[in-house]
Amino acid sequence: MTLGGAINSGLAAAMAADDRVMVVGEDVGVLGGVFRVTDGRTDTARACRDGTDCTLITYGASVAPAMAAAQAAEEDGYVELPSPVAGVVETLHAAEGDIVDVGTVIVSIRVGGPAAARSGPPATVAEGSGATTVTSAGAAAEGAPAAAPEPAVSEPAEPEPAEPGPKVQTLVGTGPSAPVERTRHLRPRSELPAHPSRNAGAARDQVPLVADTRVPIRGVRRTTAQAMTQSAFTAPHVTEWLAVDVTATTELVASLRADPRWAGIRINPMLFVAKALVTALERFPDANSRWDERAGEIVRFGSVNLGIAVASARGLVVPNIKGADSMGLRDLADAVDRLVATARDGVLRPADMSGGTATVTNIGALGVDAGTPILNPGEAVILAFGAIRPTPWVVDGRVEVRRVAQLALSFDHRLVDGELGSAVLTEVARVLRDPVGALIDR
């Protein structure tokens, strides 16, 4: 016989000879304890609070008041459930592994056993705020009123004298969190100071609340929501990021604004971002395409119809410039200015909103560095241009303060793989780093 087997046999003999012998433990009912020395020696029950569980004392065990009769496993640790009375476990009302509701009777204790010191009916488990609450099941079942909270005595040397009637003990731990120490540091809840958050909550309850408002979903808002949902759950999105030194672009913008030949033309960095995306799509036309699921075909567009995301009073709209790839910088500037003004005035035509092939959005105008833009349905790429900020940058081995912006390119991975997407993004960055050289090369 092994050492574990000898201990198991000894437990069996002791439990058979004296009903005061019991086996209590967190794992004895499931694993048989360490080295399975308690295997077969338990007939435990388990109760759960909100999906958690606890291991109870065994059938036939003797219990005394405030003895830890069970250990409940909760979200933040284990909580002991003390016995409210002294006696012998007579009935276990839940089997091992059962899930029961708060307030369910889990064990019946017969008063008058070897360890009995006072009488009481079966026990239930109830939920308290930050404490373990053990109530008398008999009082709850017969509607008898509960007595006032009764404090636990620190390590009583002798059992307390019997008192008539059922008792309710509501105890709150104030000492160490270890279960073995908790029973030595318990006080009645009535002795604890009022929690400040509860007083604050009562004060907040007196503040009048503003009623909720419901806004009908219609017009541009509904159309945009439908388009974005369709795109997000149809096209597999991939987003790549790149920080680019746009100092040369900002200098060119300042130069053109001061040039009388460009008077009356709206010049800004966004114009050059739009031009850079058009240039990249001309160089890599496979990214200027559409996935036609119904026909089972990929449609490569013959021209670049560049969409410009505009935040209007009616919501987000994305009108597009037809044939942007055929325009010079001045014509493109006029087209962008005219389209943005029309969108903000709310007088866009249906033709302005249809037929786009790629989109650019200036989230930097909102003070945002970058984001993950969602594709306009039927398009393969969308470019987000972030805020331009002074940034330490390495130039020819020296650190200088340069004007840097973040680019984020989202693309439909059915049409654009990582290599093609990276090629488009780096081409946009090349134009913005050296706009004069890029435009001369064309």
Q: Is 413 a catalytic residue?
A: yes
3-state secondary structure the chain: CCHHHHHHHHHHHHHHHCCCCCCCCCCHHHHCCHHHCCCCCCCCCEECCCCCEEEECCCCCEECCCCEEEEEEECCEEEEEECCCCEEEEEECCCCCCCCCCCCEEEEEECCCCCCCCCCCCEEEEECCCCEEEEEHHHHHHCCCCCCCCCCCCCCCCCCCCCCCCCCEEEEECCCCCHHHHCCCEEEHHHCCCCHHHHHHHHHHCCCCCCCCCCCCCHHHHHHHHHHHHHHCCCCEEEEEEEEECHHHHHHHHHHHCCHHHCCCCCCHHHHHHHHHHHHHHHCHHHCEEEECCCCEEEECCCCCEEECEEECCEEECCEECCHHHCCHHHHHHHHHHHHHHHHHCCCCHHHHCCCCEEEECHHHHCCCCCCCCCCCCCCEEEEECCCEEEEEEECCEEEEEEEEEEEEEEECCCCCHHHHHHHHHHHHHHHHCHHHHHHHC
List 93, 195, 237, 413, catalytic entry: 413
Catalytic sites, residue numbers: 413
